[in-house]
Amino acid sequence: MTTMIRIALCVLLALISSHAIAASSSNSAQELFERYRDSIIQVQITNKLSGERSALGTGFYVSNDGLVVTNYHVVSLVVQKPDNYRVEIIHRDGSKEKPDIVNFDIINDLALLRTETKPVNPFSLAIEPLRKGARILSLGNPNDLGMTLVNGSYSGNLENSLYERIHFSGTINQGMSGGPAIDEYGKVIGINVATSGNGVGFLVPAKFGVQLIDKTRHDQKAEGVMENIQKQLWLNQERFMGTLLTGEIPVSPLGEYMLPDRIAPFMHCWGDSDKDKKDMYEVVTRVCSSRQDVFIDEDYSTGQIFYRHKYIKSGQLNALRFSSLYEATLSDRLPTDGDEEYHTNFRCNDDFVDNGSVNMKISLCLRGHKKVHGLFDMTLVAVSLQKNNSGMQTSLLLTGVSYENAQKFARKYLKAISWKQ
Amino acid sequence: MEAIIIIEVSDQHGKIVERYRTPKLPIRIGRAYDNDLIVDDPYVCPHHCEVVLNEAGEIVVNDLSSVNGTYAMADGSRSGQFPVDADSRLRIGHTMLHFKLPDQAVEATRFDHTPLHQKGEWPPRLLSFNIAVLLLGALVMTAKEYLGSYNMFEYWRYFFSQQIPALLAVAGWAAVWSIISRVTAHRFSFFRHATILVSILLAITMSDYLLDFLKFGFASQGPFEVISIGLSMVAIALLLFWHLRLCSDQSRSRLMMGASAFAVVFVSLVQINDYLDSQEFHRSPLYPTNLKPPAFQIVKSEPVDDFLMKSEQIRKKIDQEIEVLPTAEHSQGVVATRPEK
């Protein structure tokens, strides 16, 4: 009974609030929607063998000559497997058209399509940022329910993010990906790209759309898909590794050790500790992650950094039993996704290493990217061998970087570790 | 000519049921009680055949117009009369008759390789020794469990959840072998079979535990893996050899050869399987995770830079691996950056 009331109450509240929003902005939102609704299209990916659709998204016209912007992840199946999938756009009147995929920006998850249709009212992209709190409307086709507009507000660029994104306080649903988010004058502020649920949405800043269009109009050279992806991934890793390799690695204490803390602003760290009354030991953990990565294909995401430290201590276990515990705490896997199509197997080196402060056993493993030559994933696992009943273990994962950058970072990371004594 | 012959009577499975030595010839064979050689086979006639000495002094078997006839085993031919000499074989009904002459040579005496009281035999026939080995096995198993645990060690819980099932498994294994050896060699030897299994398990457990220390201490897997594979071959060969020795009177060298061949094939198959698995794609790196107390480090630690230099080798191998891949570039067609018209 109580649950039902609560649900009913929620529905009621939702109705009231949506009414309130609709009332305050219905005129301009209505006008904007009327003006631009022919410039928003649905993007549909169809599997050639089954004839059924495999992905849906939204796109919008940005020029009179028929250029459409959408998300790269909406059309990624066609880019990666053109023999198995085809892309179609569906206009408001239901007519279908087969566009060309002209260019894409995998780092910012954008793709540019060209159609024969010449729209009357294409969108224009804004480069200037808005003030925080400004109202924006996100347009798209959520869950294939027809074109919808979602009210929300501009919450500025995500702080401390590896890849620049606008924080949109509004609900972005599946299928709205690639749709425009516009200000009250109808200028595109960003492109719908992701959500973390509960009214937290993310937009790709419109400036990246502008850059992609400019680049496409000026580049005269035709390029292969993987060549294009390789170039983008390479520049991207140079950019973020540049940040990671600049300056000293900040360290903070974990047990008796000083260990890398938040290496760059885009790293996010959490801490935890584990000690039961029944346990004969305690484990303190710190995990840092860049959280974001670059999506290329369902089985291929890259460009992330993750590390985890553990400090393990026991007053009661003897040396041999402690080493059993030490083995068990080392068994946590690193989040190494991957697929045979894109990655080689890892190959590893392991040895005892002394960095001047801590004696460690280290395993360094590398694997190559099969389709993007010169990029590697690295795991580094270092375990201190200082005392019989306490120690630290650190595991690092760095994906989609050059061998030289991986080496430089491994060196810096290992040299940052010290023992407080 | 000596008229005494020996007839080995065997049933349809070839098992000899009677050896009949003729006192004189002729004799009559059949199911009736007035025969010289009474054959207990419903397919044999009451008066089936007779063995006589003919005028030429040859031994001959005459069929007495039997219902099912008399056959030569050699070619399956049916006849009313068969001349018989040493090693002739005839069939009447479901019964085999094997004729032997008294002066016929027999096989040389087989040497008993497993006399009841041979020195140095394994496992010894001493019950107290066998029980001691089983107890040692239980003790080592417990010690290993204790050293491998890092929470409160509750012995009784461990005893009921692991040691009792292990004991039952050993008993089951020993029981199977005991039954086999009872059938083939008339020896039950339950405790000796159990001792064989436990002693081999003990050896494997302890050698693996020691090898783990060496792998850690030298920060090296390969050479110790090879030793470990070699040891497991020896262990399996010995396990089989000892069990078989209690089950068979075959010579030591034959049994050892058989057991070794099995061990080599078995371990090789497991290794091939492991190798193929290692060639499969793995999402996670397979680095060694065995750790021991710092005091067991044997090789010296190296500086960070020297360690990192070694990754160059890995990089080369990965590059080679990628180079041989077919280039899967699908650049033609839809997806290319195109110049603006």
Mean predicted lDDT score pLDDT of chain A: 85
Query: Rounded distance, CA A331 to CA B232, Å?
Result: 26
Cβ-count burial of A28 within 10 angstroms (0-12 exposed, 13-18 middle, 19+ buried)?
Answer: middle
Residues B69 and B163 in one domain: no
Question: What pLDDT score does B1 carry?
Answer: 47
Q: What is the pLDDT of residues A221-244, one digit of tens each?
A: 667 788 888 889 999 999 889 989
Q: Do B150 and A222 touch (CB under 8 A)?
A: no
Query: Rounded distance, CA B85 to CA B2, Å?
Result: 12
Q: Are the C-beta atoms of residues A179 and A141 closer than 8 Å to each other?
A: yes
Residue B81 lies in a domain: yes
CA distances from A389 to A5, A386, B280 (A): 56, 9, 37
Residue B16 lies in a domain: yes
Residues B266 and B131 in one domain: yes
Residues B75 and B144 in one domain: no
Question: What pLDDT score does A332 carry?
Answer: 87
Question: What pLDDT score does B120 carry?
Answer: 62
Question: What pLDDT score does A10 carry?
Answer: 32
Lowest mean pLDDT among A24-38, A133-147, A250-264, B290-304: A24-38
A18 beta partners: none
Q: How much is the ipTM here?
A: 0.82
Residues B153 and B204 in one domain: yes
Question: What pLDDT score does B116 carry?
Answer: 54
Residues B178 and B235 in one domain: yes
Residues B96 and B173 in one domain: no
Q: What band does A72 get if pLDDT is binned at 50, 70 and 90?
A: very high
Q: What is the pLDDT of residues A363-379, one digit of tens each?
A: 999 999 998 889 999 99
* Percent over 90 (pLDDT), chain A: 34
User: Which pTM was predicted?
Assistant: 0.77
DSSP code, position B296: G
How many helices (H) and strands (E) in chain B?
8, 10
Residues B90 and B134 in one domain: no
Residue bearing tokens 């220390």: B213
Q: Are the C-beta atoms of residues A141 and A42 closer than 8 Å to each other?
A: yes
**B218–A contact, CB cutoff 8 A:** no
Q: What is the mean pLDDT of residues B166-187?
A: 92
**B157–A contact, CB cutoff 8 A:** no
Contacting residues of A for B311, CB less than 8 Å apart? 349, 364, 366, 403, 407, 410
Dihedral sign, CA of A91, A93, A94, A97? negative
Query: Rounded distance, CA B35 to CA B28, Å?
Result: 5
Please name the residues between 368 and 397 in chain A that touch chain B, using a CB distance below 8 Å: 368, 370-371, 373, 376, 379, 381, 383, 385-388
Domain edge (last residue) among B100, B119, B138 = B100
Residue B1 lies in a domain: no
Please name the residues between 200 and 259 in chain A that touch chain B, using a CB distance below 8 Å: 216-228
Residue B198 lies in a domain: yes
Residues B172 and B60 in one domain: no
Residues B159 and B227 in one domain: yes
Query: Rounded distance, CA A153 to CA A137, Å?
Result: 8
Mean predicted lDDT score pLDDT of chain B: 88
| Angle ∠(B320,B323,B324) on CA atoms, nearest 5 | 95
At A77, list the tokens: 């199946």
Question: What pLDDT score does B318 carry?
Answer: 93
- How many domains is chain B built from? 2
Residue B122 lies in a domain: no
Q: Is the pLDDT of residue A46 over 70?
A: yes
Secondary structure class of A92 (helix, strand, coil): coil
A55 beta partners: A45
Q: What is the pLDDT of residues B30-82, one digit of tens each?
A: 999 999 999 999 999 999 999 998 888 888 999 999 999 999 988 888 989 99
Q: What is the mean pLDDT of residues A111-140?
A: 85
Give the contacts of B190 (CB within 8 A, at least 6 positions apart).
B174, B175, B178
Residue B169 lies in a domain: yes
Residues B145 and B254 in one domain: yes
Q: What are phi and psi of A397, to 5 degrees?
A: -125, 130
Contacting residues of A for B275, CB less than 8 Å apart? none
Question: What pLDDT score does B113 carry?
Answer: 58
Q: What is the mean pLDDT of residues B295-308?
A: 94
Q: What band does B234 get if pLDDT is binned at 50, 70 and 90?
A: very high
Residue B78, amino acid? R
Domain at B64, CATH number: 2.60.200.20
Q: Do B282 and A224 touch (CB under 8 A)?
A: no
Question: What pLDDT score does A4 carry?
Answer: 33
Give the contacts of B175 (CB within 8 A, at least 6 positions apart).
B190
Q: Which of A421, A367, A420, A418 is nearest to A394 (CA)?
A: A418
**Domain carrying residue B37:** 6-100
Q: Are the C-beta atoms of residues A163 and A73 closer than 8 Å to each other?
A: no
Residue B83 lies in a domain: yes
Give the contacts of B15 (CB within 8 A, at least 6 positions apart).
none
Task: Characterize A104-123 residue by residue with b for buried, 16 or more Cβ atoms within 10 angstroms of its Cβ, and e for exposed.
Answer: bbbbbbbbbbbbebebeebb
Question: What pLDDT score does A103 carry?
Answer: 87
Contacting residues of B for A103, CB less than 8 Å apart? 337
Mutation target to probe the A interface, by most A beta carbons within 10 A, among B335, B340, B341 is B335
Query: Rounded distance, CA B145 to CA B18, Å?
Result: 60
Q: What is the pLDDT of residues B81-140, one digit of tens each?
A: 999 888 889 999 999 999 998 888 888 887 765 555 555 677 888 889 999 999 999 999
Domain edge (last residue) among B49, B84, B100 = B100
At B58, list the tokens: 């040859």
Give the contacts of B332 (CB within 8 A, at least 6 positions apart).
none
Lowest mean pLDDT among A26-40, A385-399, B122-136, B266-280: A26-40
Domain edge (last residue) among B244, B277, B310 = B277
Question: What pLDDT score does A306 carry?
Answer: 95
Q: What band does A16 get if pLDDT is binned at 50, 70 and 90?
A: very low
Question: What pLDDT score does B278 carry?
Answer: 86
Question: What pLDDT score does B118 carry?
Answer: 56
* Percent over 70 (pLDDT), chain B: 92
Q: Which of B246, B108, B107 is nearest to B186 (CA)?
A: B246
Q: Which helix (H) or strand (E) holds B267?
A: helix B252-279
Q: Are the C-beta atoms of residues B193 and B182 closer than 8 Å to each other?
A: no
Q: Are the C-beta atoms of residues A174 and A142 closer than 8 Å to each other?
A: yes
Q: What is the pLDDT of residues A342-359, one digit of tens each?
A: 999 999 999 999 999 999
Q: Is the pLDDT of residue A8 over 70?
A: no
Q: Do A379 and B285 touch (CB under 8 A)?
A: yes
Most confident of A191-200, A275-284, B141-150: B141-150
Q: What is the mean pLDDT of residues A185-212?
A: 86
Residue B228 lies in a domain: yes
Q: What is the mean pLDDT of residues A128-154?
A: 82
Residues B135 and B272 in one domain: yes
Residues B77 and B137 in one domain: no
Q: Is the pLDDT of residue B334 over 70?
A: no
Q: Do A365 and B334 touch (CB under 8 A)?
A: no
